[in-house]
Structure 1
Amino acid sequence: MTTEFSRPHVAYFGYKNGELAVENVAISAIAAKYGTPFYVYSAAAVRERVAKLRAALDGLDIQICYAVKANNNLSLLSLLVNEGCGMDIVSDGEMQRALTAGAPAGKIVFSGVGKTDEEIAAALNAGVHQLNVESIEELDAISRVAGKIGKVATVVLRVNPDVDALTHPKITTGTSKNKFGIAYADAVNTYAAAAARKEINMVGIAVHIGSQITDVAPFRQTFERLAQLTQAIRAKGLTISRLDLGGGLGVSYDGSAGIDVIAYAQTIRETLGDSGCALTIEPGRFIIAEAGALVAKVLYGKNQGNVKFSIVDAAMNDLMRPALYDALHPVWPVREPAADAEALPVHLVGPVCESSDTFGEFDHLPALERGDLVMLGVAGAYGATMSSTYNARPLIQEVLVEGDSFRLVRRQWTVEDALALERDL
């Protein structure tokens, strides 16, 4: 059989002169210089996503705080700082990365359900914009730490709106079954109690209902509940000046439509545009996912009964999403297939000793041979940042492309680097 092979559906990735390129750089040129596997990012794609979101939100008093957990590469963070983005962080490590990348502390939001006393102190000493608080005991800890170091903590209360975003169960965060936030019914009383503490400057409320959401309906339901809660807090004579709307904006992994950011922005205008509060959103995946890809080399092919396998040099430790979330990333051969090439269904798998070390079954690829390069698309988010050294494999290298130039932005973390952590202790 023959088939029309799919083409990359993401901006700045496409075939030029018979092979895949990122912007104006051939994938094969990067592989020749640095070897495989590697992540590659398009700077232009990142800038375009920020610009697209900012244009949709025009006229709103709103700050974009990039969710660092999606991809914390310093070069990418610096690029986003230069685009005017703040940072949403969930650990001291992410805070140090954001500060190192040049993010002003006053544009950093510290989220997360389990901040340690040391992290709280570090955030207060750094002067972050706000701490998003998720439990009464966390408020107690912040009060204690702030009092000890002579600081007043600016706090926003994260509320669980009990809204099902209808996304993957492992990335749903806004229902009563999830560990995140203060129960909606308890929010007003908790806000009032927190505002009464002398070590706390209570300024607002926050929500986050999940990730990879492509329908605006759950956002509208959430923001309507947020508007009601804002009114209830003010009815108690309390001050509220900030609303943190979280992130979760979904992207396309298969060429279908991702979230409509125009409709998303209009939803914010209609529900919270007259709230009188400064707004924050925390997109991560939306900005970086489609701007990145994972490139791997075919090591071997084999048949197991009627099943064809192609074994590549990237593995589940390099890209965890397929094993963790059953995610299916689009795959394209780096060498452009001939128009009459035969499509052969194949399982694309890695070398790690786990059956879960698979990137999926694909029916649109040509015959792959040893040494061929393949690219797994839409891998900029939760790819490199979730990578590990399982099977004592080195952490993967990362490359940034800008126009017709490219550079290494994370070198390969070698086995020797790992051994050095355990020697001569």
Structure 2
Amino acid sequence: MKRKARILLVDDDASLLKLLGLRLKSEGFEVATATSGAEALEWLERERPDLVLSDLRMDGMDGLALFDRIQRQHVGLPVVIMTAHGSITDAVSATRSGVFGFLTKPIDKEALRRTIHEALAVSLPAFEDDWQHDMLTRSPAMTGVLEQARRIAPLDISVLITGPAGAGKELMARVLHQASPRRDHPFVALNCGSLPEPLLESELFGHVRGAFDGADADYAGVLLTAAGGTLLLDEVEELPARLQSRLLRALEQQEVRPRGGTRNIKTDVRVLSASSRDLVAAMEQGRFREDLFYRLNVVNLALPALKERPEDIPLLARHFLEQIRQRQATQVTGFAPEALALLAAAAWPGNVRQLLNLVEQAVAMASAPVIGVQLIESLLTGSGEQFPTFNEARAEFERMYLNKVLRMTDGNVTQAAALAGRNRSDFYKLLSRHGIEASVFKRKED
């Protein structure tokens, strides 16, 4: 079942906002409202709608200024502008800047419905909305990656998925496969760093009878067994040079010759690859073929580390707990709020994989239905985590917050202070306390 499309309405006329919200809800949409551009941006930090419908004339930040901020921070999110002061000049200005549509108040019901459905056809995937249900997130950083993934999933192109170990690269590959036209065919994953070269060659290209250490049966290899579907080459940087050459030839010719074979076999497979290493550096050092790199890296999806998406940690912890409860009998039903706060503040060098491991340990060791703060603290300490003091955690939050508002305002201290709700003097003191230079964030002129 598809979820309802989410629309964010922005208008400083509260009565109109309520009326339009009721109309859209009756049409079957999920609706959130904001009475100013600033309130809309604050909401967008927590959630991602499928469409923003904004008034043009508003006090403070107008609709086009809001669109400009959305375009920079939430790439691909369609925005429709409404105004009671409609004119050809406004419409041309809005559409030339990339606004999806332009509606004049009073809003014509049919024009509204048509524009919304046209915008959602761009914003929403053509597949069932559970295509990404395993990639739980509230993080704008991760949402941006998923939006990019949704757009490229239907395209039969190679994708390189990068990110630190444990960040979920294989899961992202499965998401791409699930959202692609190949989703009804096999998904096969091969770790290129887990096998010696002869075995890896056989796994990739297959072998014929007797051609591999006395083998008495043919073996197809993953390039053939994944035919019609998707092949993930994990730790692709570990491919030996000779196999890099063979793989490139197989991808270019779309055919495979098994080890010991005398003829090539046609194959049809989409190849995804994943790496936690710097493949550009490996290429520059001659350890990875440049032509193969560009063949695999048509599009790059870079997954953020878990510490860069702290808002997702409680969400993921609860999800992992529910998965464990479905697999095994346990008395554990949830986490104490303080325990979730500890998890959200930890550094997680092992990323999502480490969090899953810790939740499994907590469930195994819990002596009560609710996992408490003491158990989480002991597990974090035991895993080598240095849990920060309150003052350290607050200082780290302040530093991240200041950097974020300065990035959002391109280093404009007046705008950043206003966004933070502080006066310029106090804001400068905060910058000085954390050794932050606003000039670093100013946009360089071409």
TM-score (norm 2): 0.30
Greater percentage in helix: 2
Flag the structure with larger Rg.
2
Higher-RCO chain (CA-CA 8 Å, sequence separation at least 6): 1
Greater percentage in strand: 1
